[in-house]
């Protein structure tokens, strides 16, 4: 008698330790995309990236807003979730998310994309010198919902939340690791009967 056992590898997602689950179900998070210095086509790409994290218990929405020039300030702690393009000199990264949280509750998430870099804001694949906005936006939105960087570079396919991305590389689709991380936080609201 032969017996087969299917073994799934451990998932690589990691959590920040803070989230939005204290809000009423379904959880809706509104982001303001600051229109100052935006590359043409960026709004639709960022909105699409935000919506890819949506689930029955979580809704991310991004709207355009005239925030005026932010004069390089980042993050701005004003209780609003802002997304903009601006300077990130002290960071080599193409994007950065800054969470404001206390006692495991996220109160605000600001996202900045590095304006000094060359960005791909189209549907086509990025060139070897372009950063893919769709991929970077999807990754930063993952931080905004409470996911940390994944450090295991052996995972295949490479998750959106993997800590590294290079110019010319794209990761525009959530993997099982990314979805499992989101659901580890937000699906439990449905299964635990919280609302």
Average pLDDT over residues 165-178: 97
3-state secondary structure 78-136: CCCEEEEEECCCCCCCCEEEEEEEECCEEEEEEEEEECCCCEECCCCCCCCCCEEHHHH
Q: Distance of alpha carbon 178 from its chain centroid, rounded?
A: 10
User: In the chain, where are the structural domains located?
Assistant: 14-190
State residue 123's pLDDT score.
92
Rounded-to-integer distance, Cα 13 and Cα 95, Å: 20
State residue 73's pLDDT score.
87
State residue 143's pLDDT score.
98
Q: Which CATH superfamily is domain 14-190 in?
A: Collagenase (Catalytic Domain) (3.40.390.10)
Rounded to two decimals, what is the model's pTM?
Answer: 0.90
- Residue 176: pLDDT over 70: yes
């Amino acid at each position: 008698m032969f017996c087969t056992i299917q073994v799934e590898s451990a998932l690589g997602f990691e959590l920040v330790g803070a989230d939005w689950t204290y809000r009423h179900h379904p959880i809706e998070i509104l982001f303001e995309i600051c229109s100052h210095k935006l590359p043409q086509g960026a709004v639709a790409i960022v909105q699409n990236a935000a919506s890819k994290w949506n689930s029955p218990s979580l809704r991310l929405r991004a709207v355009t807003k005239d925030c005026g020039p932010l004069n390089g300030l980042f993050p701005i702690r004003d209780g609003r979730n802002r997304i903009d393009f601006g300077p990130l000199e002290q960071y080599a990264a193409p994007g950065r998310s800054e969470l404001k949280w206390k006692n495991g509750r996220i109160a605000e998430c600001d996202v900045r994309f590095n304006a000094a870099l060359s960005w791909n804001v189209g549907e086509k694949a990025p060139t070897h010198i372009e950063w893919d906005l769709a991929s970077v936006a999807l990754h930063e939105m993952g931080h905004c919902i409470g996911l940390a960087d994944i450090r295991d570079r052996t995972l295949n396919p490479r998750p959106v939340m993997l800590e590294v991305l290079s110019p010319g590389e794209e990761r525009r689709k959530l993997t099982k690791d990314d979805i499992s991380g989101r659901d580890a936080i937000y699906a439990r609201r449905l299964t635990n009967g919280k609302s």
